[in-house]
Chains A and B, each alone.
Chain A
Amino acid sequence: MEYIIHLLIIASIYSSLAISLNLLVGFTGILSVTHAAFYGIGAYATAISMKTLGFSFLASVGFGMLITLGFALLVGFVLSRVRGDYYALGSFGFNVIVYSILLNWDALTKGPLGIFAIPRPTIAGFTFTSNFSFLLLTILVCLLLVVISYYITRSSFGRVLKAIRDDELILAPFGYTASYFKLAIFSIAALMASLCGALYATYISFIDPSSFSLNESIFILTIIILGGLASIRGSIIGAMVLVLLPEALRFVGLPNEIAAQLRVVLYGVALVYLMYARPSGLFGKYSP
């Protein structure tokens, strides 16, 4: 039972990450491959401010989001001047740079050793010690992000985002400055990822740079491509499938090492097949 709760916690954290990335990739058409960087900044900032500065959980999350916002504005501004495929490449670069900082700034991040013994969150006197209570917390956050995304995509703001995706140039004559909207949604998505990072850090209670590498960004991107672009439901289903399916492979009786790699092969096959048969993903409403 504990095992299932653990899997569900991980799956709902990834659902939240996927929902936030889908705001960028699916709804706005910005191919960002740097989500794990913001996820990592959130995790590290929360962990450090809880452990070293002695902040409470909520204050730490706020602190983490503030730092993430600063980074997101900077990166979003820099990347806003780059287009198309080059955007993906530039965002790759930002992920690698953040990963290098996490790995090499020993004094702050403890480098490859990572940060141990991060306490569980306490909100209004209640500490989420049991995994079940933590699961409720992650589901609550996930629902919150679903509601926010739902309203964003159905608001006039969201319609501008979709217009940017479908034809950016058409917006200028109507008096919209696309780059402001892109920067805004980039920052919102980054803040959401930062919140997910805070949950991950306090749940696992140990973080190291390897959880926030470029491969992690690619994994989150795989979730939304599989689940479906511009679909909130697709993000959640994609995360469930990609987190839970590999665990099922464990019970087939393959050795762990081979099962782990087989799962990687399956992702690859799924990606290639989807790009051929259905580029918008399983539940997607937008095809890149």
Chain B
Amino acid sequence: MEYFLQVGVQTLVLASLYAILALGYNLLYSMNRFFDITFAAYCVLGAYGYFAAHAQGASMLLSCLSAFLVVGLMAFLCERYLYAALRGRKASGVVLMVASLGVLTIVQGVIAIIFTSNIQVLRSTTNVFHIGDTVITDVGIATIVCALLLYLVAWYILRATKFGVQLRALSDNEELALATGIRVAYLRQVATVAAALIGALAGILYGLSTSIEPLMGLGLLLKAIIAAIIAGLGSIVFGFAGAILLATSENMAVWYIGGGWKDAVAFLILIIVLLIRPQGILKK
């Protein structure tokens, strides 16, 4: 029973991390409509931005802010100067995807040149809290709180603000959105930067709970995509459910067949979902 509770707590923390990733990815996908691999670069850059600022002696909050600044700037530049230009040339989804793969490759390489490709830690100590029989780290609590807050805010913005309505209109039908006078390019930039910041936050939280390396992005991206697709790609609020499903099955795989099979199980679920319900389990 103790074990069971402990596994439950860990699953909740993992699910929250995946939920944050899925939220960022869903936002990005519903605006841009292609499999944007740059999201992985935002995660890595966030973690390393934090790492660099922290190494200079900045506080946790300041390190986070400087990481956000760097990632936000990069997302703006990518969207404004690269993807907008490609879209202007009527590039297909595959072309955009390959270009974003190129961007990830560049970011990974540059980070490895500056910080070496070794595994590094964002911090050496971990504060642990005991709740009843279970144990949870401070990062774990922060992850859960961040995930809940972000989903609440996202839900509020999408449902109750003019900005959110415009975002949903754009994600439904771009041409109609243009025709009704929505500033599509501007909206895209804002949404891309917001998604990138969410990705950066996930990268930092992941880095704080384990360690960072330049190649960590692709793994996080794939988890984001899987969680988003399980629930239904582009349906922003459902992402949390997909994340819980993914985290639960991964932890069950670790429990019953061994840690090495975690990623294989995640992709097996993805393939099954793609076969049975390509539109996602929850999406109508």
Contacts and interface: CB of A to CB of B under 8 A. Distances in A.
Nearest to B78: A272
B228 to A, nearest CB: 11
Interface residues of B, number: 47
Nearest to A264: B109
Contact of B94 (A92, A215, A258, A288): A288
B34 to A, nearest CB: 7
Contacts of B110: 261, 265
Nearest to B89: A276
Overall SS of chain B's interface: helix
Contacts of A92: 222, 267
Given A92-B222, A96-B267, A269-B102, A85 B113 contact: no
Given A82-B278, A104-B258, A258-B113, A264 B102 contact: no
Interface stretch (B8-16, B139-147, B269-277): B269-277
Interface string A241-284: 00000000000000001100111110111111001100100000
Contacts, number: 123
A103 B91 CA distance: 38
Nearest to B275: A81
Given A85-B34, A89-B35, A92-B222, A225 B105 contact: no
Given A88-B35, A90-B271, A275-B91, A104 B105 contact: no
A101 B265 CA distance: 11
16 contacts: A78-B275, A86-B278, A93-B270, A225-B98, A262-B109, A262-B113, A265-B109, A265-B113, A268-B101, A270-B102, A271-B98, A272-B102, A275-B86, A276-B82, A276-B86, A288-B94
A97 interface: yes
B97 A85 contact: yes
A163 B116 CA distance: 47
Interface in A206-251: 214-215, 218, 225
A88 B225 CA distance: 12
A169 to B, nearest CB: 17
B268 interface: yes
Given A100-B264, A103-B260, A275 B106 contact: no
Interface in B245-284: 258, 260-261, 263-264, 266-268, 270-271, 274-275, 278
B278 A93 contact: no
Contacts of A275: 86, 91, 95-96, 98-99, 102
B274 A31 contact: no
A175 interface: no
Interface string B76-119: 00000010011001011111111101111111111011001100
B136 interface: no
Contact of B271 (A78, A103, A218, A261): A78
B42 to A, nearest CB: 15
B263 to A, nearest CB: 5
A89 B225 contact: yes
A25 B101 CA distance: 16
A128 interface: no
Top 9 A-B pairs, shortest CB-CB distance: A271-B102, A268-B105, A93-B267, A268-B106, A265-B109, A100-B264, A264-B109, A275-B99, A272-B102
A71 interface: no
A272 B103 contact: yes
A84 interface: yes
A55 interface: no
Contact of A261 (B112, B222, B275): B112
B190 interface: no
A181 interface: no
B184 interface: no
Given A96-B263, A275-B91, A257 B116 contact: yes
Contacts of A101: 264
B7 interface: no
B218 interface: yes
Contacts of B103: 268, 272
A211 B108 CA distance: 19
A243 to B, nearest CB: 17
Given A78-B275, A268-B109, 4 more contacts: A96-B222, A97-B267, A275-B99, A279-B91
A288 B95 contact: yes
Contacts of A85: 34-35, 93-94, 97
A63 interface: no
Interface string A38-62: 0000000000000000000000000
Nearest to A279: B95
A287 to B, nearest CB: 8
Given A93-B268, A100-B260, A86 B94 contact: no
A97 B268 contact: yes
Nearest to A273: B102
Interface string B13-42: 000000000000000000000110000000
Interface in A186-216: 214-215
A94 interface: yes
A262 B275 CA distance: 40
Nearest to A280: B95
